[in-house]
Amino acid sequence: MYKILKACNLASNIFLMDVEAKRVASACEPGQFVIVRIDERGERIPLTICDYDREKGTVTIVVQTVGASTVRMQKLKAGDSLLDFVGPLGKPSEFVNEDIESLKKKKILFVSGGLGTAPIYPQVKWLHEHGVDADVIIGARTKELVILEDEMRAVSGNLYITTDDGSYVRKGMGTDVIKDLVNNEGKKYDVCVAIGPMIMMKFVCLLTKELGIPTIVSMNPIMVDGTGMCGACRLIVGDEVKFACVDGPEFDGHLVDFDQAMKRQNLYKTAEGRAMLKEQEGDTHHGGCGQCR
């Protein structure tokens, strides 16, 4: 069992938990995720790691209530426990293995949409701890849905906040802020990291490709099983079949076929759709179990 040390709501349907998981905390890196299960009746939920403390042996997760299991999970309090907390899974962010001195010379921009702020935070924090400042754009539908603002402000070089309805700081999308920074303020970036809903990442990538900024995206929104065996996170990157949970979750955003991924995600929601995808994709339908038939 994995004890919950802290549980609090960040917004009406978003909550944060600090979980005692010493082995995960000792090995995880920014960009990775865990599989969480409340109890024997609960479904397996893949969740990106928002933060970790190796000394305390804790891992922080941020969860949005989207189904029965996450609704039940939101009712848990400090002192309660989770049955399973498996990880770290997936590959760490690329910059974790880069030369620090080379990273210090790069101008890095992070763009988050909604819950995407949670997986971006540990990356920006890791860079800050290694002497690398990065600019961060937080985008949300309304002021209420802006999360981790203070935490992000403490570790970012410059923080820009935008809301779809203009209820906080400025009105517009994250792409509007990128255009403003590059075209009006003369900012130049060597790399962009975008994490959020697929439609948001798609339009960020269309813009950054036009601006000539290499872009990394995290395809964690399409993960279900977390091991490659369910086939949910199958996507096309360039001309190759990839699986977000075992090959990623981060990929070159300019090579990801977002239209195919979004169409496929909708099909995967029904039993008939899953059956059709399995028939169409054959041996490449799954990724973690070795071309099962």
Task: Tell me which range, 8-17, 53-62, 235-244, 246-255, is most confidently predicted by mean pLDDT.
Answer: 53-62
pLDDT tier at 68, thresholds 50, 70, 90: confident
Where is the domain boundary, 55, 89, 123? 89
The CA distance from 77 to 160, in Å, is 33
Same domain, 209 and 124: yes
| Per-residue pLDDT at 122 exceeds 90 | yes
Same domain, 155 and 124: yes
The CA distance from 50 to 61, in Å, is 5
Same domain, 192 and 133: yes
Read off the pLDDT of each residue in 204-233 and give the average, rounded to a whole number.
Answer: 83
DSSP string of 151-185, one letter each residue:
HHHHH-SEEEEEETTS-SS-BS-HHHHHHIIIIIS
| Per-residue pLDDT at 135 exceeds 60 | yes
Taking the alpha carbons of 231, 232, 237, 243 in that order, is the dihedral positive or negative?
negative
Same domain, 98 and 34: no
Same domain, 100 and 208: yes
Look up the domain containing 133 and give its range. 94-217
What is the predicted pLDDT for the residue at 246?
81
Same domain, 137 and 43: no
Where is the domain boundary, 63, 89, 115? 89
Is 131 buried (19+), middle (13-18) or exposed (0-12) by CB count in 10 A?
A: exposed
| Per-residue pLDDT at 293 exceeds 50 | no
Same domain, 103 and 148: yes
Give residue-wise pLDDT tens across range 232-261: 777 889 988 888 888 878 999 999 998 888
Tell me 228's DSSP state: S
Q: Residue 27: count other Cβ atoms within 10 Å of its Cβ.
A: 12
Q: 19: domain CATH number?
A: 2.40.30.10
The CA distance from 285 to 280, in Å, is 8
Question: In terms of pLDDT, which residue wins out, 66 or 132?
Answer: 132
Same domain, 209 and 117: yes
Question: In terms of pLDDT, which residue wins out, 111 or 275?
Answer: 111
Read off the pLDDT of each residue in 129-151 and give the average, rounded to a whole number.
Answer: 94
Same domain, 84 and 106: no
pLDDT tier at 291, thresholds 50, 70, 90: very low
What is the predicted pLDDT for the residue at 251?
92
Number of domains, the chain:
3
What would the two tokens of residue 287 be?
């990724």
Q: Going by DSSP bridges, is the β-strand pair 108-113/135-140 parallel, antiparallel, or unpaired?
A: parallel
**pTM (2 decimals)?**
0.87
What is the predicted pLDDT for the residue at 272?
72
Q: 210: domain CATH number?
A: 3.40.50.80
Same domain, 207 and 229: no
Where is the domain boundary, 217, 246, 278? 217
Same domain, 122 and 153: yes
Same domain, 223 and 191: no
